[in-house]
Chain A
Amino acid sequence: MTKLVLTVDDSRTIREMLRATLVEAGMEVLQAEDGVQGLEVLEGAVPDVIVTDINMPRMDGFGFIEAVRDSARHRAIPILVLTTESVGDKKDRARRLGATGWIVKPFDPAKLVNAIHRVAA
C-alpha cells in the first residue's frame, strides 16, 4: 500500500528534496511549511508518517509534535524529526515530547526512506 507522508519544513530546498526522495520511493507526499500549517494539513488527512523540522517560524517542531500527540486522531502517527541538531538537548527534548525517531540533516535519501519504512506500520 502506498504510504502517505507529511513533511513539515520551512526550507523550500529541503521540502523539494524530501518530495523528490519520497516520490521516488513510491510514497505520496503532503507538505507544510511550519507547525501551524502542518496541523492544518492534518485536519484533512491522516498520514502514515510525519517528517518534521525543528527550527521553524510560527510553530516549531517541538510545538508541532506536542500538538500531534495531544490529538486523539493523530497521536498514533509516527513522527521523524529532521534536524541538523544531532546531539544533546534538542534530540532529547523532541523525544520527550513524543518524536518517534530522528534523521540527521543533511539526510541520505536511502536512509530517510529506510527510516520511514522502519517506523511506519
Chain B
Amino acid sequence: MNYNWNWSVFFREVPSGGATYVDWLLSGLGWTLAVAISAWLIAFVLGSVLGVLRTLPSRFLSGIATTYVEVFRNIPLLVQLFIWFYVVPELLPREIGDAIKQMDPTTSQFMTAFIALGLFTAARVCEQVRAGIESLARGQKNAGLALGLTLGQTYRHVLLPMAFRVIIPPLTSEFLNIFKNSAVALTIGLLELTAQSRQISEYTAQTFEAFIAATVLYLIVTMIVMLAMRHLEKRVRVPGYIGAN
C-alpha cells in the first residue's frame, strides 16, 4: 500500500488560519471531555435515584423507574440524540422551539449531546445500582430496619455504601463507555475529538495520522479513568467483602 505518511501535518496551519491541526485535536478533546463528564453527572445522579426506586417496595415508584429503563435502554443512542435534536423542538410551543433553534449552534449541540447521553447512560447506571443493592444479603436490610432505622436511613447508612462499593467495576465500564459514546455528538455537528480527526483527514488527506492521533488520545483518557477508578476501588474497599482482594 503506497501511503504517503506525514506526521508533521499536525503542525501545519489550518486553512482558515490562526491555528494548527494540533489545536483542532485539542479543542476536539476538550469537547469530548466536556460532553462526557457533564453527561456522567446526569447519569450518575439520575441513575442512582432510579436504581434505588427500582428496589423500593412501592409498586408505583419502582414502576416509574422500570419504565424509564426500558424506554431509554431499548432505543439506540443515535436515535435518541436525533429525537432530542430534531424532533423535540418541533413538539414544544412554537416560540420556545424557535428560540432553541436560533440559539448559538455550538451551545445547543453541546446541551443536546450531554443531556441525551446522560439520560441514556442513566438507564444503564440504574440497572447497576439495582443489581448492587440486590446483591446484598437480605439480612442487611432487615437488620437495619430491626435496629429502628427508617427505610431511608437503611438505604443511606447500610445498603448504598455497600452497593456502590460492589458496583465500582461495572460503573467504571459505564464511565469509559460514556467517553466513547460521546462521539455520536458529531452527527449533530459538535466538533468533538472524532469529528475533528475526520475533519483533519478531509482537509489534509492524511487519514491515518488523524485517526491514530484520535485513537491515542481516547486511549490516554480511558487509561487515566481506569487507573483513577482502580485507585478509588482500593481506597474504599471493605476488608473481607466482595472485590476486597
Chain A partners chain B: no
Task: Report which B residues bind A (CB closer than 8 A).
Answer: none
Task: Report which A residues bind B (CB closer than 8 A).
Answer: none
